[in-house]
Amino acid sequence: MTILVTGATGNVGRNVVDQLVQRGANVRALVRDPAKATFPESVEIAQGDLLDVDALRAAFSGVSTLFLLNGVVADEFTQALVTLQVAREAGVERIVYLSVIHADLYVNVPHFAGKFGVERMIEAMGLNATILRPAYFMDNEITIKDAIAGYGIYPMPLGTKGIAMIDARDIGEIAAIELIRREEAAAPLPTVRINLVGPDTLTGESAAAIWSDVLGREIAYPGEDFAGFEQNLRQFMPSWMALDMALMAERFVSNGMVPEAGDVDRLEDLLGRPLRSYRDYAAQIAG
């Protein structure tokens, strides 16, 4: 049978596809533009998006397991519900869904609230899923690398509670492990939730200190200015998304994004190796 991967051309999706191929799985990738789909030769391409019901129905033909990833977009919730309905219609009972950590806590942050709604719908629809709840992606730091290097500041308002950032490569590998586990099970497995975190719980000050070490010069943490943060984001993203991100940053400061007891050990047991560190990722993109 076949595993269908949505969001297959993004940071996480590409890693999921690669990890599945390495494990010998039959993979079908749903993509909007096949010309941009540079996957291993064995990967089958299905053209379409999560609001194109006819394309989804075609993509689900012969599929046994679904990896559901949809990005932060204005109609994210609708995309996910349409996809889940078509999956149920196709008889798919094995799902891995990429949600977000503390989806039930960051209730005023639109994309967190949307993902928590999808989690509840998975259960209400009687579907079986591994719900992966990643913390903030280290890979997002690539967008602020130039500000760090050029202005000598770490601009992400992380606060003092701590954020356990995770590398997208680790997310992709864990997702593939769970997809294979569900695919190979004799019967659909019950729903479980797994927090995806990195090994380091970072504050604004500690992230700046790591960048200081990596770059060999002082990088300062200027503190939290949520209005300024939102205005800066509006230079390269829609206003609704900039507000969404600013609200998320406010919750970083008020609540943090801290692992629960046993989260890191559980993930390293799954992977059979240590999680990738923030320092190593910073050194990689600085180079």
Residues 157-198 have pLDDT tens digits of 999 999 999 999 999 999 999 999 999 999 999 999 999 999
Whether 124 shows a pLDDT value over 90: the answer reads: yes
Torsion over CA: 138, 142, 143, 144 (sign): positive
Q: How many CB atoms lie within 10 A of CB 80?
A: 24
Are 152 and 220 within 8 A, CB to CB?
Answer: yes
**Domain limits of the chain?**
2-136+167-196+260-271
| pLDDT tier for residue 230 given thresholds of 50, 70 and 90 | very high
| pLDDT tier for residue 35 given thresholds of 50, 70 and 90 | confident
193, exposed or middle or buried, with CB in 10 Å at 0-12, 13-18, 19+? Answer: middle
pLDDT, position 143 = 92
pLDDT, position 1 = 81
Q: How many CB atoms lie within 10 A of CB 113?
A: 15
pLDDT, position 264 = 98
Whether 85 shows a pLDDT value over 90: the answer reads: yes
Instruction: Please name the CATH architecture into which domain 2-136+167-196+260-271 falls.
Output: 3-Layer(aba) Sandwich (3.40)
Coil, strand or helix at 27:
strand
- Average pLDDT of 79-95? 97
- Average pLDDT of 69-80? 94
Whether 36 shows a pLDDT value over 90: the answer reads: no
272 residue type, one letter:
G
Q: What percent of the chain has pLDDT over 90?
A: 97
| pLDDT tier for residue 55 given thresholds of 50, 70 and 90 | very high
- Average pLDDT of 62-82? 96
234, exposed or middle or buried, with CB in 10 Å at 0-12, 13-18, 19+? Answer: middle
Are 198 and 277 within 8 A, CB to CB?
Answer: yes
Are 131 and 192 within 8 A, CB to CB?
Answer: yes
Average pLDDT, the chain: 96
Whether 106 shows a pLDDT value over 90: the answer reads: yes
